Structure 1
Amino acid sequence: MSNVLLEIEQLATSGASISSDAPSYFSAYFGKQLQEGRGQSEPIRALHIDRDPEIFRDIVRHLQGYYVPIRSPEHFAYLFADAQLFQLPKLISRLFESEIFMAIGSRSFQIPRDLFSAPGDSPNYFTIGFAVFFSSPDEVFPGLKREGLLRPPSITPPEVTNRSGDIFSELLHLLRGYPVEIRNETHRAALLRDCRYYHLRGLEQKLICHKISYNSSREREEIMLRIEDIKPSGLNFALDSSDKMLGFVTYARPFNDDTGRELILEISNEHVIVSSVTLTATFKEDTKKRVAAIAKLIFGKLSSANGTTPRKLTPSLVGQLYNPTLEPTLRVIVDDDTDVVLDGRTWGAPPSEHMHLEFENPMQGPRPLKRRRTSLDGPGTADTWTIKKGLWKLQILEFPDNKVELMMKAIKLDALSGENGRNQARTFLP
C-alpha cells in the first residue's frame, strides 16, 4: 500500500503503518481505492477526519509502532472511543486489557488489574464497573453499527464523585501489601465503608477491628471480634472431647484465615440483659437477630454432625427445645475467671440459694459459684444487669437427656444493676 494522507492538521503515514493494525477503518478506506485502480492513473484521496488532533496523533504513533502511555482517565476514554470508531483491533485489545483508569473524588488513579488478585477482592466495583463502561473488544457501543458511524457517542470518563480519593489511596496502599496506620475508629469506619462500596471483601476482613492471641492455659488461639462484624461463613464449632458433646464456637475470617480460632464476641451498646437470679441472657435491637442467626447456624452444623455419632442430639436453649422462630434466650456462665465491673466497682456478690451461677459439670447439675463476699446492701444484689459492654465465649454443652445447649460464658463484663448504677456512671456536662 502506497503512502496515504490522513488529513487532520496534515498528518501523513505509510501503508505499512496502516497495515500494522488491520483490518480497520483506514485499511478499508484506502484498500477500496486501490482495488478501484487509484494510485496508478489517479492519486489516492486523502482522508479528512473531524476528531481531536491530540488524540489522533496518539493513534498515528500507535500505527507507527510506538507505545502510547495513558495520561488520565479522560485520555483513556477519548482514545478508546476513537479506537472503536476507527476499528483498530490491536489498540482496542491493548486498552481493554490495560490498567483500570478511574477518577475518584478529585484524584485520578491508574489501577493495575493484578492488584485485585487476593481472595475476595475480585470481582469488584472496578473490574465490573470498568467492563460496563468499556464492555468488550467486540461490543463497546451496544446497539450501534460501527460501519458508517460518523462519530461515536460521547463516553464519560469513569469517575466516582461521592467517594474520597484520599481514602482510596490508602486502600490501594493496603492492596499493594503496605501497612496503613489506623488512626482511630472513625478512620477505620471510613476505610471499611469504602471497602464495602468497592466490594473489596478480602481487604474488608483484614481491616475489621479484631485481635488474635494465644491462650497458653487452654493451648489454643483465640480471635476477638465485635458481633456486628461476624460473617456466617466464618462460624463453626470444635469439640473438646469425642466421648461427649462439650465444645466451643470457632471463627475464621472469610478469605483470610485457613483454620478457625476460638471465638470471643464483643457485644456493647447495652444490648445484653442478664438475669442475675436465673443467669440467662436476653438481647435487644440488632443483637437479637445476630444471636438468633448464630444459634441457628451452629445448631444446623451440630445436626449435620449427628450423622457421625451413635446418638441423636437435640438442640435446646435453656433446657427447652430449640425453636428458630422464637427470640433467643441463652444461659450465661459466670465463674471465678470472669472479670466483672458492676456499677463502676469490681463485683464480688455472695452466693445465695437463688443464684446458681454455673453448670460446672452438666452431668451433675447446677452448683452455686463461690465469689468474693461483699455486704448484701452493696452492689451486685440487683436481679437484672444491663451489660454496657461484654466479652463472651460461646460454649456447647450436652445434658444427660441428649439435649445440647448453646451457652454464653462471660469473660469480661461492664454492667449496670439499675437506675442507681446508671446514675453513678453519669457525668456532668463540661
Structure 2
Amino acid sequence: MDTHSSKCNLPKEKVFSIQIGSEIFRLSGASIASDAPSYFSRFFEDQLLQSQDVANIRTLYIDRDPTTFREIARHLQGYHVRPQDGAQFVKLFADAQFYTLPRLMSQLFESECFIQIGDRHFQIPRDIFSGPGDSPNFFTLGFAAFFASPSEVFPGLDRQGLLRPPAIIPPKRAEPIGGFIRLEDVRPSGIQFASHTVSGSSMGGMVTYTRPFVDESAADLVVEIGDESSLINRGSMRADFLGLSKQRIASLLQTVGKKMNLPDSHPPLGQVPIKVRVDRETDLTVDGEQDPQHLRIPRAKAEAGEDGGPAAKRPRVDNTDDGPWVVRTGQWRLQVQTGPTGTYEVVLIAVKLDIYTSPQVRNRSRKFL
C-alpha cells in the first residue's frame, strides 16, 4: 500500500490545476498524493469537502517561481530531482518547505552539500564526512542557520501569518578557509609544540596545531576568541578572560605544558593575566575604526627583550578612561618564551583584534529591541 496516498484522499484519476506565477500546471490526484500531506493536498481536499462536484474545483493560484515549481512537479510525477548548484538547491528547499512537501524536504536535507569558495562551486557528498572526527564541520553546518532538520526549517522564524519563506542564498566564502580555529573547537590531541633551540638550549617556541583526521603536518596555532570574553589591561599589556574562555585558555595552556614535558616544579603556563604583544603585522580595529592613528600604537620593530626576542608593544592611549580594553573578537598566535626568572611563559601575539576602549563605545554598538 502507498503510505503517501494513505495521507491524501484526493481521487487518483482526477486532474487538478495549479497556477504558479503565469504558468499553469495540471497534476493528477496520484501525483499530489505521492508527497502528502502538503499545501496542495489540503487545499484540494477542502475544495472537495465544500463541493462534491469535482467539476467545480477551482484552480489554486500561488505567486511563486514557475521555473522552480517545474522541478517540483517532476518530483511529484515520480522523477528524481537533483539540484545542479547551490542557487537551485536553496530555491527548491525554500519552496519545498513553503508547500510543506515532506518527502522532498527530507530528500534535499540528505543531499550533497553545496558550497562556493571564492569563485568556484563545489558539490560535496555527505558520506565523505562519515569518518570519526569529520563532523560537524564548515560544510555540514553551512545551511544549519536555515535548515536545522527536515522538520524544523528556518529555526526561530515565526510561521504564523508568513506569506512566503525568507530570501536566502547558498553559503559561500569570499576567500579560502583561513588557518585559524575557534577556542572552543581546539582539541588536545591536535596541540603540538615547535621548540626554538639556540646553541643547544631551548629558547621557547611556537604552539602548533594539527587538525585531527585532516592535516598531515602541523602549522602555527591561530586561535579565535570571541563573545567579548577577553580583556586587555593596556598598562601592563596583559590579557584576562571571562567565563568559559578563561577555563578553556587555562586548559589549553596546561596541555601545552604537557607537550613541552615541563617538570612538576615548573609554574603552570596557564596563569592569567597573560602577556600580550601587538606588532606591526596586527590587523587592529578600535571602536569600529580600522588601524586608528590617534591611538599612536607603535608599529616599528621593537627593541630586543631580555630573552632575546622582540619586546611587547605597549600602545600609548590618550584621552581615554583607565578601564581595560574589551576584545570583541580576537585571533592570537601562542608563543612560549623564557621569562626574567628563567621559567617559561606564554605570550599571546595578536593577529587580528576588534576592540572597544570604553563602555560608552561598547554600548553604542547595542541595538534597541
TM-score (norm 1): 0.43
| Structure whose CA Rg is larger | 1
Which is richer in helix? 1
